[in-house]
């Protein structure tokens, strides 16, 4: 067992941490959030120059040879800063879809463009009726010769309003909730028939509802076998949850650090409030919750590349349960112990709390994953 980072990984962490420190204080974040894309396009370029956008891809695909650990490092630092750039959507989620679905040629092309900062992708998958069921896909993909024509609506596509292209899941055959018959299609965001309605999200990012009306997809833009997309989607979502757990750990550690700092400086009744045992013990419970979450972040990271879908799914669900519960506890306590200041929009802690809340809600909350695990037998089998 070895929890140490290699010297290259340590350097990556230092680089990202320094960049966040220099460019992502909370005031800067407010200006990025207010820009049309809802994040900093200039920083996206810097991420590309620093090698962050190609970090988790293999060298033969045009990446820099890292993997899940590199993703974890970047996401944890992004989590502390509440970074708004669509790293999770483009590099992690769509990157995984491309990695596992696209032909070697297409993969190399797309990953090269992602790594260079020239292509931002979002995954148009969720539909209004689907909840968290990844298999619930109704948007129709009609065969037209060797091409496909897409018709239907997708929602909650994070950064979908600013993405250059979308990966769209669609029903090629079978019923709406069948596991088989789902395809993955690469669609230019400005393609004829694509209508996007962008909007801000509760956690300070942006998302879009997107309608597809007779959108034509040529054969070279069909990613993978046109009816076997679901296992790839599940795998990509598992990798995304692993990355999300690192973002959550970053945000939790920042919330705890801010809370402890506040306890040490805020005075009431003539003393710092950190001298009160009621608050000390609550802060200690936050430490326990954070360490448990961090442990599961490691488990999720190491399991993200597991080929066996059942084993991978168990570890990822377990991590999501722990992350969700720790995030809720730490977020709520951070607000409570800061008192009124945490209720203001201008102060960072409330935004950490909101992001943590929405991380639990993403890809199935803690209860949903606990139920999934419950149906899968012992974690210690």
Partner 1 sequence: MDLRLTEDELAFRKEARAFVRDNLPASIREKTVAGRRLAKEDYVRWTRILADKGWAAPHWPVEWGGTGWGPVKQSIFLDEVQRGNAPEAIAFGVNMVGPVIYTFGSRAQKERFLPRILDLRDWWCQGFSEPGAGSDLASLRTTARRDGDSWVISGQKTWTTMAQYADWIFLLARTNPQGKKQEGISFFLVDMKSPGVTVRPIQTIDGGHEVNEVFFDDVRAPLDALVGEENKGWDYAKFLLTNERNGIARVGISKARLDRVRELAAIPVYGAGPKIDDPFFRARLASVEVELKALEMTQMRVIASRRSDGKPDPASSVLKIKGSEIQQATTELLMEVVGPYALPYEDPEALTNEPPVGPEWAGPAAPNYFNYRKVTIYGGSNEIQRGIIAKAILGL
Instruction: Please say whether the beta carbons of 150 and 221 come within 8 A.
Output: no
Distance CA 221, CA 47 (A): 27
Q: Which residue has the tokens 């483009």?
A: 90
Tokens found for residue 217: 């997809």
Q: Residues in the site for partner 1, rule: CB under 8 A?
A: 1-6, 9, 69, 260, 263-264, 274-275, 277, 280-281, 283-285, 287-288, 291-296, 298-299, 301-302, 318, 321-322, 325, 367, 370-371, 373-375, 378-380
Provide, rounded to whole angstroms, the least separation between the CB of residue 280 and partner 1. 4
Burial environment of residue 27 by CB neighbours within 10 A (0 to 12, 13 to 18, 19 or more) = exposed
Provide, rounded to whole angstroms, the least separation between the CB of residue 121 and partner 1. 28
Identity of the residue, 101 or 323, whose beta carbon is nearer to partner 1 in the bound complex: 323
Pairing of strands 182-188, 165-171: antiparallel
What is the phi/psi pair of residue 195, to 5°? -120, 125
Provide, rounded to whole angstroms, the least separation between the CB of residue 274 and partner 1. 4
Tokens found for residue 186: 């690469």
Identity of the residue, 85 or 247, whose beta carbon is nearer to partner 1 in the bound complex: 247
Identity of the residue, 12 or 232, whose beta carbon is nearer to partner 1 in the bound complex: 12
3-state class of 302 per DSSP?
helix
Identity of the residue, 180 or 291, whose beta carbon is nearer to partner 1 in the bound complex: 291
Identity of the residue, 20 or 256, whose beta carbon is nearer to partner 1 in the bound complex: 256
Identity of the residue, 97 or 263, whose beta carbon is nearer to partner 1 in the bound complex: 263
Provide, rounded to whole angstroms, the least separation between the CB of residue 317 and partner 1. 8
Instruction: Please say whether the beta carbons of 221 and 311 come within 8 A.
Output: no
Distance CA 249, CA 21 (A): 17
Provide, rounded to whole angstroms, the least separation between the CB of residue 301 and partner 1. 8
Provide, rounded to whole angstroms, the least separation between the CB of residue 22 and partner 1. 26
Instruction: Please say whether the beta carbons of 353 and 331 come within 8 A.
Output: yes
């Amino acid at each position: 067992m070895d929890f140490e980072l290699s010297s290259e990984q340590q350097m990556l962490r230092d680089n990202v941490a320094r960049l966040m420190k220099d460019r992502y204080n909370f005031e800067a974040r407010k200006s990025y959030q207010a820009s049309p894309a809802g994040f900093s396009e200039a920083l996206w370029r810097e991420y590309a120059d620093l090698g962050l956008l190609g970090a988790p891809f293999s060298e033969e695909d045009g990446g820099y040879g890292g993997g899940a650990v590199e993703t974890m490092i970047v996401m944890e630092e992004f989590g502390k800063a509440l970074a708004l750039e669509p790293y999770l959507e483009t590099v992690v989620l769509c990157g995984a879809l491309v990695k596992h679905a696209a032909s070697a040629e297409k993969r190399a092309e797309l990953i090269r463009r992602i790594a260079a900062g020239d292509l931002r992708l979002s995954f148009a998958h969720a539909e209004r009726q689907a909840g968290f069921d990844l298999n619930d896909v109704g948007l129709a993909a009609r065969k037209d010769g060797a091409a496909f024509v897409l018709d239907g609506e997708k929602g909650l596509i994070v950064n979908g309003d600013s993405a250059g292209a979308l990966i769209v899941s669609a029903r090629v055959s079978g019923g709406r909730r069948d596991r088989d018959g789902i395809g993955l299609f690469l669609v230019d965001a400005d393609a004829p028939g694509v209508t996007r309605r962008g909007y801000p999200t509760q956690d300070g990012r942006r998302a879009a509802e997107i309608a597809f009306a007779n959108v034509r997809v040529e054969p070279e833009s069909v990613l993978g076998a046109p009816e076997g997309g679901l296992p790839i989607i599940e795998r990509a979502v598992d990798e995304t949850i692993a990355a999300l757990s690192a973002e959550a750990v970053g945000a939790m550690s920042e919330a705890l650090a801010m809370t402890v700092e506040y306890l040490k400086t805020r005075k009431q009744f003539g003393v710092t409030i950190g001298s009160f045992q009621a608050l000390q013990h609550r802060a200690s419970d936050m430490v326990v919750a954070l360490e448990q979450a961090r442990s599961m972040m490691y488990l999720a990271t190491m399991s993200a590349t597991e080929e066996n879908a059942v084993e991978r799914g168990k570890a990822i669900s377990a991590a999501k349960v722990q992350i969700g519960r720790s995030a809720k506890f730490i977020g709520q306590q951070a607000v409570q112990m800061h008192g009124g200041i945490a209720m203001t929009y201008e102060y960072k802690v409330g935004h950490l709390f909101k992001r943590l809340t929405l991380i639990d809600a993403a890809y199935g909350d803690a209860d949903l994953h606990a139920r999934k695990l419950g149906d899968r037998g012992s974690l210690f089998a």
